[in-house]
Each structure stands twice: as C-alpha cells, then as structure tokens.
C-alpha cells in the first residue's frame, strides 16, 4: 500500500463522505466516521492492517460544493496536520444545475470548478505527503442522460487536476458502471446519487484498489 505506519488520512467531501457522521465527535473516535465509505475504509484498515495504525478522519459536510471547501480548509484539514488528503467532490456542483434553478442558486461553472480545485490542490500539496482525488459518480446506466453527461465533464476536470500534479485519481464512476451491467441502479441508490451500503462498498473498493491495498492480515510493518 502507499501509506506508512501512523499516517493520518483525512477524507473531505459532501454528503456521500459525511454519511451522518457525528460532527461533535473527536477525529477518529466513535461515530466520527459516519455510516458510509469512510467508515468501511476505517474498518478495513483497522481489521486487516492493524500494524499500520492508520488514523482515518472524516470531514465531509452534506451539501458541499467545491466552492465551500476553501472556506473551511484551514480548520477542517490543515490544522489537523494530515499526511494524506482525500477529496470526493463534484456531484452537488452538477446537481444544483438541475434542482437549483428555481431557487436561483449561483451555479459552479466548469471554469470555477477547475480553478478552485486546482488552487486547493496546489496550495495543499507542499504540506502533505500526498493527495488522492475521487471522481463524483451518478448511478445512471443511460450515458446520454443529461445530468450523467455533465457529471462526466466535471469528473474529467478532476482527472485533469490529478494528472497535472501527478497525484492519484480514483475513477469511482467506473466501478458503478461495471455494477450496472449486471443489476438495477435501485440496488445502489434511490435517487441516483446517495448510495446504499453496497454503493459505499464500491467506493471503498475503488479507493483501496488505487491505494494498492493487499488483502493481508496482521502484517509485520
């Protein structure tokens, strides 16, 4: 795996990362991980790589878009002295284009998304060992669906940021697409965005694969 003993890994994002975490809980304490993929990853690393003593911290906040991250970055991320920062963001940046029009929400354009993301990564990298960017995803088999197509555009922007700074990109959408070759989208999500436990397991699997986790038990170092 790419992580070293005692590495501190912070996950930042929206409701998919948040997943009902307890905001008042101290970092890496009970209820702090939420009920989603961050909790799955914490359980996996704790159970199967106990010697690594990895600290998993969840700092997702429901409803966040890329433009919300800079305002809380110092307190929620940098002040916690992470070794690694993992970001999954983008679905709300897209979704508000479809469900926020009558609220007259100010939309996050492709340019704003890319430039904000790029600046955040550029400014953070000198302070950490590394960063990992996860794609957003939509549980939608129809590739011509308007929202699904827009998600792909924003995912490509995320990939561009990752490639520019030579950091790892996790194509979560690809894992969902593979599942949808065999089963209905309703197994994974009732609204095409918020995943079931099975969906969260897919996110965790995508992350663990890219981070080169091996299915070992009680390693020596």
Please tell me the pTM assigned to this model: 0.93
Q: Which of 79, 166, 182, 191 is catalytic?
A: 191
- Please count the CA atoms within 13 angstroms of the CA of 40 that sit on its side-chain side: 19
The β-bridge partners of 189 are 195
Interatomic CA distance for residues 176 and 203, integer angstroms: 8
115-149 pLDDT, tens per residue? 999 999 999 999 999 999 999 999 999 999 999 99
* Catalytic residue (choose from 14, 15, 18, 189): 15
**Domain 8-210 coded CATH 3.40.50.261:** no
| Res 219 pLDDT > 60 | no
Identify the CA nearest to 90 among candidates 151, 165, 159. 151
**Candidate list 19, 185, 194, 200, residue with the active-site label:** 194
Give the pLDDT confidence of 144-192 residue by residue, as tens digits.
Answer: 999 999 999 999 999 999 999 999 999 999 999 999 999 988 899 988 8
Q: Note the pLDDT tens digit of each residue in 188-217.
A: 998 888 999 999 999 999 999 999 887 655
Is position 190 annotated as part of the catalytic site? no
Both ends of the chain: CA-CA distance in Å? 11
Tokens of 183: 């089963």
Q: What is the DSSP letter of 2?
A: -
Give CA angle at 41 (51, 57), nearest 5°.
85
* 97 annotated active-site: no
Q: Say how many CA atoms lie within 13 Å of 180 toward its Cβ.
A: 19
Annotation says 19 is catalytic: no
* HSE-up of residue 150 (Cα within 13 Å, Cβ side): 15
Phi, psi (deg, nearest 5) at residue 163: -70, -40
């Amino acid at each position: 795996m790419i992580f070293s003993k005692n590495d501190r890994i912070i996950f930042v994002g929206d409701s998919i990362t948040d997943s009902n975490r307890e905001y008042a809980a101290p970092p890496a304490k009970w209820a702090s991980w939420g009920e989603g993929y961050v909790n799955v990853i914490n359980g996996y690393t704790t159970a199967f790589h106990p010697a690594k003593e990895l600290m998993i911290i969840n700092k997702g906040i429901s409803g966040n878009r890329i433009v919300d991250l800079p305002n809380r970055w110092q307190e929620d991320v940098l002040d916690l002295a992470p070794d690694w920062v993992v970001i999954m963001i983008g679905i709300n940046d897209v979704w508000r284009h479809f469900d926020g029009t009558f609220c007259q929400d100010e939309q996050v354009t492709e340019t704003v998304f890319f430039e904000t993301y790029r600046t955040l990564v550029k400014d953070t990298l000198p302070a950490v060992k590394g960063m990992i960017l996860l794609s957003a995803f939509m549980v939608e088999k129809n590739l011509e669906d308007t929202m699904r197509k827009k998600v792909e555009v924003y995912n490509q922007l995320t990939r561009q940021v990752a490639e520019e700074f030579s950091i790892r990109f996790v194509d979560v959408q690809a894992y969902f697409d593979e599942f949808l070759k065999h089963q209905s989208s309703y197994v994974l999500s009732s609204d095409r965005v918020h995943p079931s436990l099975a969906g969260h397991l897919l996110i965790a699997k995508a992350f663990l694969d890219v981070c080169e986790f091996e299915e070992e038990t009680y390693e020596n170092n």
